[in-house]
A = this chain, B = another copy of it.
Amino acid sequence: MKTIGFIGLGIMGSPMAANLVRAGFDVTGHTRSPAGLDRLVAVGGRAAGSIAEAVAGADAVITMLPDSPDVEAVLFGSGGLAAGAGPDGVLANAAPGTLIIDMSTINPRTARAIAAAATDVGTAAGFRVLDAPVSGGERGAVEGTLSIMVGGAGDDVAAAMPVFEALGTTIVHVGPAGAGQTVKTANQLVVAGTIQLVAEAIVLLETSGVDAAAGLRVLAGGLAGSTVLDRKGASMLAREFAPGFRVDLHHKDLGIMLEAARSSGAAVPLGAQVAQLMAALRAQGDGELDHTALLRLTERLSGVTNPAPHQVDRSDA
């Protein structure tokens, strides 16, 4: 596992590819933006003008793309999964047996379909496929501290481990193909819900005339405590909503979550509700803000038009 083709050098993909270079991998990247290619070359990788060039000779191919259709198009060519392996996609150009690691966040069902199709495609061996979405955001990508939830065969996970270790600190093999994506959707459900709960607590405290910073400090110390409170409480109190993780993306992810819950039969009453709230926030024009802007929506619902944000004391909440 030495040579890596990396497709998708955006906000997440760029620092991830850079970390692979730093860890000693031979990385050839391809992406739509020239800037992304330049960044890779600057840290010692190689820029490819096409998918075919990026995956030639690769032991593993990593994709880090916005959504399911993008992943389908990159792997199978412009016709997508339904049309089979088209000539411009990864599958038509990578060597049989190559390990394909999709680290995008996509629908678990699509992930399973991709794994099934890619395993069949090609010559004798077919391909080996892992779904390995991440959490931890841009900062986690830059610092190499991502959490990586991996679905696929145990042998393939073992083979990919050196790659994962260059990218993250929490790496868990959670089940067969698609399982990584399922865990990611559960993660996005819990994160969105926890942010909304903290937002409701803040509005409840402030509309009642209570010092919200002091109140959150108590909550953080007990069973109401959460990583959201620890990492985001202060910026929420200060109404700082620069992303971070954008509402638009979390909205996309909650759509995936609802589909996954629907198809597995899982009841997600709070999940369905927070998906409505995230969609409303986006519809109101706040798609570019950090997902903690759910606080803003909650304030609008409460008729709070002029909150007096706390001075942020980072040691505070």
Name A residues whose Cβ lies closer than 8 Å to a Cβ of B. 79-80, 82-83, 108, 135-137, 147, 149, 151, 169-170, 172-176, 178-179, 182-183, 185-187, 189-191, 193-194, 196-198, 200-201, 203-205, 207-211, 214-215, 217-219, 221-228, 231-232, 255, 257-258, 260-262, 264-277, 279-280, 282-285, 298, 300-304
Contacts and interface: CB of A to CB of B under 8 A. Distances in A.
Given A170-B221, A303-B265, A179 B200 contact: no
Contacts of A221: 147, 169-170
B266 A203 contact: yes
A273 B266 CA distance: 14
A182 B198 contact: no
Contacts of A190: 197-198, 200-201, 219, 224, 226
A200 B303 contact: no
A79 B82 CA distance: 8
Task: Pick the 9 closest A-B CB pairs, nearest first.
Answer: A283-B303, A267-B301, A225-B227, A226-B226, A207-B264, A190-B224, A186-B201, A193-B197, A170-B221
A218 B276 contact: no
Contacts of A258: 258
A266 B227 contact: no
Contacts of A268: 200, 203-204, 276
B270 A274 contact: yes
A230 B209 CA distance: 32
Which residue, of A182, A204, A282, has the highest number of chain B Cβ atoms within 10 A?
A: A204
Contact of A266 (B173, B208, B214): B208
Given A214-B174, A258-B258, A187 B224 contact: yes
Which residue, of A200, A262, A302, has the highest number of chain B Cβ atoms within 10 A?
A: A200
- Interface SS, A side: helix
A219 B183 contact: yes
Given A173-B214, A258-B258, A300-B284, A270 B135 contact: no
B267 A270 contact: no
B170 A182 contact: no
Contacts of A218: 135, 147, 149, 170, 172, 174, 183, 187
A222 B283 contact: no
Which residue, of A210, A267, A300, has the highest number of chain B Cβ atoms within 10 A?
A: A267
B272 A270 contact: no
A266 B190 CA distance: 22
A42 B203 CA distance: 45
Contacts of A182: 204-205, 208, 210, 215
A301 B172 contact: no
Given A173-B214, A269-B269, 11 more contacts: A80-B82, A135-B222, A179-B208, A186-B201, A187-B222, A190-B224, A194-B224, A207-B264, A226-B228, A272-B273, A283-B301
